[in-house]
Amino acid sequence: MGRITFLLIFFAIIHLDQALAKSDKAATKTLTIAADTWCPYNCDPSSDDQGFMVEIVRDALAANDYHMNYQTMPWTDVLMATISGQVDGVIGAAPSEAKGLVLAGEPVGQNMTCLYTRADDPYRFQSGSSLRGRRIGAATGYLYGGVIDQYIDANRADYNLVQLTGGSKPLLENYRKLTDRRVDTLVENYLVMEFIIKKYRFKSVRVAGCDEPGFLHVAFSPRRPDAGRLAEFINGGIRDLRRSGRLQEILSRYKVSDWKK
């Protein structure tokens, strides 16, 4: 083997090693973040409008040179996959749902849970005692907070009082139960229900009252050794988006108000 041939092979190997190193580095900079379909918070990954929380998180991560691979799956699967490390993080978790995960403290959205009835039902939700005897339709694996969770937990063994629906579209199934009179009260987030009412032209449904609002967060898998650093990237990224006006730009397209204003 001649000296020139040897040098060519030597430099080719160095170039290959550098390319592989760049490839490995690029792979570590891609994060798989999951949620269930919950428009307008997080929508279909194939849609042009993937949801305002998705856009906020994507921008916050991009500012730190991370690419986000956004996926959807049923909510209980999302939480289990994040705990096990099958996905890197979850969008839209309440603090009570993120136990065991590394929570980014800066909220990425606000959650207000409301109760809905048929239009001919005069029921008004006022307190925990006002739920007594109501037949509730809710989603499996969701935590709604406050007296609504207390009522569900106390009566989940009684199918006449609490019916929990799983799968990828629990809201649509619960709406059918409401209109078929299998339940008389549906539990859902206000923004999500407003979006669904317009999209599917739901009729004969009314809001009967809402619980106190809470905040939604991004949470990362404890399997990632850099989970704390990623959470700080989200915290700083959201603050930067708010200062620059980009946050308001995203929220305005979805007709959502900034929860801090």
Tens digits of pLDDT across the chain (261 residues): 454 444 344 334 445 444 444 444 444 589 999 999 999 999 999 999 999 999 999 999 999 999 999 999 999 999 999 999 999 999 999 999 999 999 999 999 999 999 999 999 999 998 888 999 999 999 998 989 889 999 999 999 999 999 999 888 899 999 999 999 999 999 999 999 999 999 888 888 999 999 999 999 999 999 999 999 999 999 999 999 999 999 999 999 999 999 997
Which one is the CATH code of 30-110+214-253: 3.20.20.450, 3.40.190.10, 3.90.550.10, 3.30.70.260? 3.40.190.10
Q: What percent of the chain has pLDDT over 90?
A: 80
Report the pLDDT value the prediction gives residue 3, as an integer from 0 to 100: 43
pLDDT of amino acid 27? 47
pTM for the whole structure: 0.83
Phi and psi dihedrals of 148, rounded to 5? -65, -45
pLDDT score, position 28: 52
Question: Rounded to an integer, what distance in angstroms lies between the CA atom of residue 215 and that of residue 28?
Answer: 29
Q: Name the H helices within the chain.
A: 3-28, 52-62, 75-84, 146-155, 170-179, 190-200, 227-244, 246-253
Domain ranges in the chain are 30-110+214-253, 113-210
Q: What is the pLDDT of residue 14?
A: 43
CATH fold for domain 113-210: D-Maltodextrin-Binding Protein; domain 2 (3.40.190)
Express as a percent the part of the chain with pLDDT over 70: 89
151-169 residue pLDDT tens: 999 999 999 999 999 888 8
Q: Is the separation of the CB atoms in 208 and 57 below 8 Å?
A: no
Q: In this structure, which long-range contacts are made by residues 96-100, counting pairs with CB atoms below 8 Å and at least 24 apart in sequence?
A: 96/143, 96/145, 97/143, 98/217, 98/219, 100/222
